[in-house]
Structure 1
C-alpha cells in the first residue's frame, strides 16, 4: 500500500544550488542598462565632441587609448556587450535545440568564440601602440616623432 503525503507537507531539505538562469536574467537587465550608458557616451564623444565623425582616424583612436579612462571604458563596453550577446545566444540555443550533444556543442562554441573575442579585444586595447619603437618611418603615422 502506498502512502500519499498530506497537502502542504514541507519537502525535505535539499542542497541549495545556484540558480544560473536567474543570475543570467539579472545580468541581462543590468548589463543592458550599463551598455546603453556606455554606448551613448561612446557615440557622444566620438561623433559630437570636437570635429565629429571627420576627426575619427588612427590618430584619434591612438590619442583616446592613451588615457586609461578610455581604455577601461572601451574594454568594459566590449566585455559587457560580448557576454550580453553570448548569453542571449545561449538562451536561443536552449529554446531551439533539444538537450543533448548538439546543444552542448553549440554552447561550447559560443563560449569559445566569446572568450577568444574578449581576450583578443582586451589585448588590442591595452597593447595598442600607435608609434612603435624601431618601426620604419614610412609606416608611422604623421603624429609620431622620429625618435
Structure 2
C-alpha cells in the first residue's frame, strides 16, 4: 500500500500554525463588526427570501401573470404605499446584502491595503448611488404622467 500524499500547509500559516506576518492585515484590535456583518447576512437573507417570493408571486402568479406586467401594472402597484415600501425594503436589503458579500470577497482576495481600500471605495460609492437612485424612483414615480400638457388618466389614477 502506498503512503498518503502530504498536503502542503496553506501559504498564510507558518510552521507554528500562526498567521505569517506578511499576511496579517489588521493592525487594530478586532471589533464585533465582522460578527455583526455575518449576522446581518443571515438575517437579511431570510427576510430577502420572503420579500422576493412575495414579489414573484404577486407579479407572476396572481392575475394574468407575466402578460399583465407593463407600465400600468407597475404604476398601479406603486400607487399603493404598501408596495412602495415592499419594493424599497427589497432594494435596500438586496443592495446592503450584496455589498457586504462583495466587501468580504475584497477582504479575502485583495492583498495590498491600497487596492483593498480603493475597491471598497468604488463598491460603497456604487452601492450608495444605486440605493439613492432606486429610492428616488420608487417615491417620485408619477403613475399619471402629463404628456404635452395632457394628463393621461388611467383606472388607477385619481380623476382630475
TM class by smaller structure:
0.7 to 0.9
1:12-23 alignment to 2 at 5 Å? 18-23=31-36
Deviation at 1:131, TM superposition (A): 1.7
1:70/1:100 CA distance change after superposition, 3 Å? same
Report if the CA contact (8 A) 1:86-1:114 is conserved: yes
Say whether the 8 Å CA contact 2:59–2:65 is kept in structure 1: yes
Is residue 136 from structure 1 mapped to residue 156 from structure 2 by the alignment? no
Q: Give the Å deviation of 1:141.
A: 7.6
- Runs of 4+ residues over 2 Å off in structure 1: 137-147
Give the structure with the larger helix fraction: 1
Query: Paired residue for 1:88?
Result: 101
1:74 aligns with 2:74: no
Q: Deviations over 1:91-121 (max 9, x none)?
A: 1101111141110000011000000000000
CA distance in 1, matches of 2:145, 2:71: 14
State the 1:132 CA deviation: 3.0
> Gaps spanning 5+ residues in structure 2: where?
1-28
Say whether 1:124 aligns with 2:145: no
Change (3 A) 1:26 1:99: farther
> What TM-score do the two structures reach when normalised by structure 2?
0.74
Distance in 2, Cα, partners of 1:50 & 1:75: 23
Instruction: After TM superposition, give the deviation of residue 136 of structure 1 in Å.
Output: 1.6
The residue number in structure 2 matching 1:31 is 44
CA distance in 2, matches of 1:80, 1:51: 28
Distance 1:125 1:58, change over 3 A: same
Equivalences, count: 131
TM-score between both structures, scaled by the size of structure 1:
0.81
- Superposed counterparts of 1:98-113, under 5 Å: 98-113=111-126
Deviation for aligned residue 1:130: 2.3
User: Of the two structures, which has the highest relative contact order with CA contacts closer than 8 Å and spacing of 6 or more?
Assistant: 1
Structure 1 unmatched runs, 5+: 1-15
Question: What is the aligned-residue RMSD (CA, Å)?
Answer: 2.2
